[in-house]
A and B are shown apart, each in its own frame.
Chain A
Amino acid sequence: MSSLRVGFAAALAMALCAGSTAAEGLGEPDYAEVNAAIVEQHVLPRYEALAEAAGALDTAAAAHCAKPDGDGLEELRRHYHHTMDAWMGIQHVQFGPIELFQRGYRLYFWPRGQGRIAGAVDELLAARDESRFADEAFRKASVATQGLPAMEQLLYSEARVFGASGEALWRCRLLTAISANLRDMTVEIVADWQGGRVAFARSMAEPEPETGYFGSHKDGTLELFKSFYTGLQLIADARLSPVVGQSLETARPRMAETRLSERSLRNVVLSLEALQALYLGENDGPGLGVLVVESGSDAKLDPLMRRAFEKTLATARGIAPPLGEAVKDPARRTQVETLRTQATAMKQIVETRMATVLGLGVGFNALDGD
């Protein structure tokens, strides 16, 4: 762990005259180039993959409800996992079309939803009210019933029967309402990045100081940086810490994300991989790490970040799932504790050192405010 210790002093720049000491080497063209590459090679392809997976899930849901059988359920679960995988690949991006119409919450009501999904789903099923499944009504319904967590509840809870009559019919109504909703929202997100009233990709590429959605290229990089930081924060503080607890006795398996479909650790690995791709760049485009190198102000940071991703990912991949069991197993628990420490350390390195190096004016008070 010593290699991941935070060299805090290095981040303590006496930079009262903002932008003049930190990131001397970075200017608007640098931010612009990296933003454009990340949007084209990271954000858009990943949202497109999500829309594709959600579309296939919707097709599978409709097919299963038309002709329910055991194989169909397995097929549905496979598509659910594909969609979740794609979502883990882009969940860290928390600005743009995902912010509009509460799409982020409607897609994935978590971690707040923990413990509330089952009740909301049961209530909706018990009501047996067709009007609540109509498109417009469903889009405005509780976010707890609209997204992937409700889908997980339907596919993995004990009463996972779908059919054409009785209780099973209503389960089908909800299943297909969720899948259609996911399909529509993910298609809309891709469309809003590429066009529409805001056309986020263009707003980001052509900032306007007074009237634009983005005031500068630096504003755009700041949003990408915040997504990067928030992604690490979610892994350390929401995916791991509450489950791991302070000791074996106080570990809480029930707090594990997507516990029913037993994919908590897979979520950790996939979101770490997505953040690594945001840092390193992908599809031949640069990532945020290029700015770290170009700033020329903290030569040790880029190698440290690369090593931190490799080590943390190796730890995460080495733990036998499910997470809820691992934290209660003395042998595996040590590995989970290491993973939490590594993820927390990464978050701190990004908060203290990377923020300064990128010259984004993200400080002690600004990043994690109160």
Chain B
Amino acid sequence: MVIDRRCLVGSVLAGLALPPALAKAALPDKRLYLSARRSGDGAFWVSAFTAQGVSHLDVPLPGRGHSFAVQPDGPVAVHFARRPGRFAKVLDLREGRALAEIEAPAQRHFYGHGVFAAEGALLYATENDYEAERGVIGVYDASAGYRRLGELASHGIGPHDIRLLSDGETLAVANGGIATRPDLPRVKLNLPSMTPSLVYLDRRDGRLLEEVRLAPELHQLSIRHLAVGADDHVAIAMQYEGPFGDRVSLVALHRRGGQPRLLDAPPSVLRGMKHYCGSAAFDHSGRVLAVSAPRGNRLVFWDVEEGRFLSSVELADGCGIAAAETPGQFLASSGVGGVVLVDAVSGLSHQLASDFLNGSQWDNHLLAADI
């Protein structure tokens, strides 16, 4: 058996030499990592655990879960069902329990992502108005039992990830461009004509502030996941629906008012990503970007400031990825079980020693929450 570097459990992780000013000054009381999982008996759960791999919250789900909206400075997170699910769980992260369940309205289903407004009162969720084949952003009032106040147009088909920029008013939405219907749950309907976009909306009135598209020949690059780094750099992680042999970049960066910039990687890494990014996250400094490629069993890292490829690390069905407390480091979860701590510069990783983590199949996303 070939021993590769990431299997050297307990290897010493080299720190990144980043300017200290970039690192956030105060560390939180407690950082939790949130993810959905499937247990050995096939049941679905939403869970939270510490950086040491200790389980802190474990709530059963009626179906497969996807991602979270985490209330800023608050103890609440909302976990959304995976497309085309219609449930969302409101979780108290401090108490480690579910508080309530939100149901998508008639003729809508969740796409699996959402975000809280800065003050934590309003929740925005990406949803499918499938009869009209248009994406919408459902707006929910957290202070009134998550009553649905209304919806904003996503200005595209298949809105997936959604983030808030640092001004507290601008929403970034990834319109994947792929039409689906709940009665054909996993069938992609419009690949020849898809036109994905990254849009910026004013969360107060839904006004379209900016619409970003890649070159027309890249219209089959579905813009799916987002991460927001330092200076509101928006990273987009994509999935290519075009021919198997095409060699295309799968990650791009954008800043308001600018042109999208595709991030390059060595050809073998690009090929190894298998046309498919699962999730994206910036490190604690907002400078290092991590993108998971579960079909290629790898994690890929870039230095965003220099637009430079850093490293690629193997992880079987590695998909969930979140900033660890040390800049340049991430926690990443595997769909076949286990969670690793990985360093973007050295490419070294080690698996957290935890029967709970090892015994679960971790689903698409891993998010950090400070409580």
Looking across the interface, which residue of chain B has its beta carbon closest to that of A102?
B192
Q: Is A15 an interface residue (CB 8 A)?
A: yes
A363-B244 CB under 8 A given contacts A8-B40, A242-B184: no
From B86-94, B140-148, B163-171, B357-365, the one touching the partner chain is B357-365
Q: Mark B310-331, 1 if CB is under 8 A from A, else 0.
A: 0000111101000000000000
- CB of A369 within 8 A of CB of B295, answer yes
- CB of A198 within 8 A of CB of B337, answer no
- CB of A369 within 8 A of CB of B294, answer yes
A16-B244 CB under 8 A given contacts A8-B40, A237-B187, A365-B363: no
Q: Mark B33-52, 1 if CB is under 8 A from A, else 0.
A: 00000101110000000000
Given the complex, which residues of B lie within 8 Å of A198, measured CB to CB? 245
Given the complex, which residues of A lie within 8 Å of B185, measured CB to CB? 237
A14-B186 CB under 8 A given contacts A105-B191, A223-B244, A370-B112: no
Q: Within residues 77 to 135 of chain A, which ones have a CB less than 8 A from any CB in chain B? A: 95-96, 99-100, 102, 105, 111-112
Q: Is B154 an interface residue (CB 8 A)?
A: no
Q: Is B267 an interface residue (CB 8 A)?
A: yes
Given the complex, which residues of A lie within 8 Å of B3, measured CB to CB? 17
Given the complex, which residues of A lie within 8 Å of B317, measured CB to CB? 361-366
Q: In the complex, what's the smallest C-beta–C-beta distance from B16 to chain A, in angstroms?
A: 24
A197–B271 Cα gap in the complex (Å)?
A: 20
A241–B183 Cα gap in the complex (Å)?
A: 8
A365-B245 CB under 8 A given contacts A9-B40, A13-B336, A20-B2: no
Given the complex, which residues of A lie within 8 Å of B334, measured CB to CB? 16, 363
Given the complex, which residues of A lie within 8 Å of B183, measured CB to CB? 241-242, 255
Q: In the complex, what's the smallest C-beta–C-beta distance from B338 to chain A, in angstroms?
A: 5
Q: Mark A190-231, 1 if CB is under 8 A from B, else 0.
A: 000000001000010000011101110000000100000000
- CB of B316 within 8 A of CB of A17, answer yes
Q: Within residues 123 to 176 of chain A, which ones have a CB less than 8 A from any CB in chain B? A: 143
- CB of A18 within 8 A of CB of B361, answer no
A209–B269 Cα gap in the complex (Å)?
A: 11
Q: Within residues 70 to 122 of chain B, which ones have a CB less than 8 A from any CB in chain A? A: 82-83, 112
Question: Which of A8, A100, A111, A214 meets B187, CB within 8 Å?
Answer: A111
- CB of A12 within 8 A of CB of B7, answer no
Looking across the interface, which residue of chain B has its beta carbon closest to that of A113?
B189
Q: Is B243 an interface residue (CB 8 A)?
A: yes
Q: In the complex, what's the smallest C-beta–C-beta distance from B184 to chain A, in angstroms?
A: 6
Greatest chain A CB density within 10 A among B3, B276, B351, B361 is at B361
- CB of B363 within 8 A of CB of A364, answer yes
For the A-B complex, the count of residue pairs with Cβ-Cβ distances under 8 Å equals 138
A16-B315 CB under 8 A given contacts A100-B243, A213-B244, A363-B294: yes
Q: Is A233 an interface residue (CB 8 A)?
A: yes
A121–B358 Cα gap in the complex (Å)?
A: 55
Q: Is A238 an interface residue (CB 8 A)?
A: yes
- CB of B184 within 8 A of CB of A237, answer yes
Q: Is A368 an interface residue (CB 8 A)?
A: yes
* Interface residues of A, count at CB 8 A: 46
Q: Is B175 an interface residue (CB 8 A)?
A: no
- CB of B189 within 8 A of CB of A368, answer no
A38–B188 Cα gap in the complex (Å)?
A: 27
Question: Which of B42, B192, B338 meets A8, CB within 8 Å?
Answer: B42
Q: Is B156 an interface residue (CB 8 A)?
A: no
Q: Is B11 an interface residue (CB 8 A)?
A: no
Given the complex, which residues of A lie within 8 Å of B4, measured CB to CB? 17
A111–B294 Cα gap in the complex (Å)?
A: 27
Given the complex, which residues of B lie within 8 Å of A111, measured CB to CB? 184, 187, 189
Looking across the interface, which residue of chain A has its beta carbon closest to that of B187?
A238
A362–B315 Cα gap in the complex (Å)?
A: 12
Greatest chain B CB density within 10 A among A198, A215, A255, A369 is at A369
- CB of B239 within 8 A of CB of A369, answer yes
Given the complex, which residues of B lie within 8 Å of A143, measured CB to CB? 192
- CB of B335 within 8 A of CB of A363, answer yes
A100–B242 Cα gap in the complex (Å)?
A: 8
A143–B192 Cα gap in the complex (Å)?
A: 9
- CB of B186 within 8 A of CB of A237, answer yes
A290–B190 Cα gap in the complex (Å)?
A: 35
Given the complex, which residues of B lie within 8 Å of A8, measured CB to CB? 40-42
Given the complex, which residues of B lie within 8 Å of A370, measured CB to CB? 66, 82-83, 112, 160, 224, 364
Q: Within residues 242 to 257 of chain A, which ones have a CB less than 8 A from any CB in chain B? A: 242, 255
A211-B82 CB under 8 A given contacts A363-B317, A364-B361: no
- CB of A366 within 8 A of CB of B66, answer no
Looking across the interface, which residue of chain B has its beta carbon closest to that of A363?
B317
Q: Is B159 an interface residue (CB 8 A)?
A: no
Q: Within residues 1 to 39 of chain B, which ones have a CB less than 8 A from any CB in chain A? A: 1-4, 6-7, 38
Q: Is B347 an interface residue (CB 8 A)?
A: no
Q: Is B340 an interface residue (CB 8 A)?
A: yes
Given the complex, which residues of B lie within 8 Å of A20, measured CB to CB? 1-2, 7
A369-B189 CB under 8 A given contacts A14-B336, A18-B316, A364-B361: no
Given the complex, which residues of B lie within 8 Å of A105, measured CB to CB? 191-192
Please give the residue numbers on chain B whose beta carbons come within 8 Å of chain A beta carbons, in ascending order.
1-4, 6-7, 38, 40-42, 66, 82-83, 112, 160, 179, 183-187, 189-192, 224, 239, 242-245, 267-268, 271-272, 276, 278, 294-297, 314-317, 319, 334-338, 340, 351, 358-359, 361-364
Please give the residue numbers on chain A whose beta carbons come within 8 Å of chain B beta carbons, in ascending order.
6, 8-9, 12-20, 95-96, 99-100, 102, 105, 111-112, 143, 198, 203, 209-211, 213-215, 223, 233-234, 237-238, 241-242, 255, 361-366, 368-370
Given contacts A8-B41, A237-B186, A369-B295, 12 further A-B contacts (CB under 8 A): A12-B361, A14-B358, A16-B337, A16-B351, A18-B297, A361-B316, A363-B316, A364-B336, A369-B294, A369-B364, A370-B224, A370-B364
**What are 8 A-B contacts defined by CB distance under 8 Å?**
A16-B334, A16-B351, A17-B4, A102-B192, A111-B189, A238-B184, A241-B184, A365-B363
